[in-house]
Each structure stands twice: as structure tokens, then as C-alpha cells.
Structure 1
């Protein structure tokens, strides 16, 4: 309701006001408070209008709520559309997500069969990867052999 005041608290405030100011002065006090609130509201509205008039016609759609940082950023992003490259950032994020999914599937495949090689781009399949055209295919190692030194890996 007003400033998070419960109905019970409001009743207590009204009873307290009646006790402090008395029933005969309370209506005059409420009128004075309402008049003061009305004058403050009129003053703030006229100040806002003066600021809008001073800013000129290019700021016709200016609202003071837009000065809040969240509202300002949201309005600027909507106004400029995809000028900031947000679509490219979304595509980049989706690419990273796909790469991470492929990598985790490859890790799961290698954990399931440590001797199998997983080809890049294959998710979850434990088939041997095709070799590149510049290197001949290597036969699988036996248990007593050590892996050869790979210059491409360093």
C-alpha cells in the first residue's frame, strides 16, 4: 500500500493521530497535509516541464525514469537495435556452448574407451579419427611401446 504499511499499522496510526491531535483538529490537519503534498507535486511537475522545455525538441521523449541506469541501458539498446553487435555476441556464445558440448562428449568417450581416438566434431562417438593427408596412419601401440614424439603437439 503506502511504503509497505500493513492495514493494522495504518489503523494504529489513525488512532494515534486522533488521540494526539483530537477529532476536531484532525480534518484541518489532513487538509493542510494534502495541500502541501499537492503543492510539492505541482512544483516537481513544473520543474520537469521546465527541464523538458530547456532541452529542446530533440528530447521530446525524455522521461526522468530513463535516468535510472537499468532503464537507460535498456532504452539505448532497444533504440539502436543490433548496432552494438549483440547478435554476433550471441552467435559466439552459442559456438562456445557447442564446442564445450563437443569437448565434454569427447572426454566421456575417451573415459569409456581410453584407447580409442575421437575425431574433432564428432560428439560421443569412439571411432578412430581420420588421419591428416600429410601423415601416414600409425598402427596402434602395443603395451610395451612408448608413444612417438609428436612435433605438432608442441
Structure 2
């Protein structure tokens, strides 16, 4: 994750920062920067140790190289899926009973006396 920053760009940013800060405040700024880098490293170490405590011993058993997304080759995955013998699905047993025929619905005419059904939950 370099965000497009090359070594030359970083040197240029550093030189501009030195010119803006000036020689009087440069030692104090360098101390602050080193303190910030030290705290960031300490934060990362604490996070790593906390993760190891929470995950337990199974964290060491994980093969991280196998889970690396750069190792996935879509062509190989598709080839393996196509060459793999499909598992036959268990055949469903035929039903011994026959369904009764359904009578067709008759269209009802509604008027003032014969009102349509009213569903409170649907309206």
C-alpha cells in the first residue's frame, strides 16, 4: 500500500517539511515523529498479542499461505470444478398417494348485498 508514493516523492515531501518546519524546530519535530512511530509499533504489538490471546492456540494452526488470495488461480478452480465427479443426488421416492383433482374457482359477482371479503391485515 504505497498509494503511488515513490522514494523520490517521499524525499521531496521530507525536504518541503524540513523547509517549512525550519532548523529551530526540526529537532523537536523529529522527536515527535519518532515518538509517534514508537507508539504505532507498540499499538501494533499490543493488537497482535491481544488477537493471539482471543483466538487461542488455533491461530498458530492456520496455514496462512493457503489462504493468500494471490494463490488463487481462477482457471485452476474452474478446471477442478469441471473435472470433479458430481455426487449423485438421492432419488426421491415416488408418492404412493395420488392427489385429488382441484375444482376450478368460479368467479363471483359482487354487489351491494354480496360484498367482497375484507382482510384487515392486508389493507
| TM-score where L is the length of structure 2 | 0.44
Q: Which of the pair is proportionally richer in helix?
A: 1
| TM-score where L is the length of structure 1 | 0.37
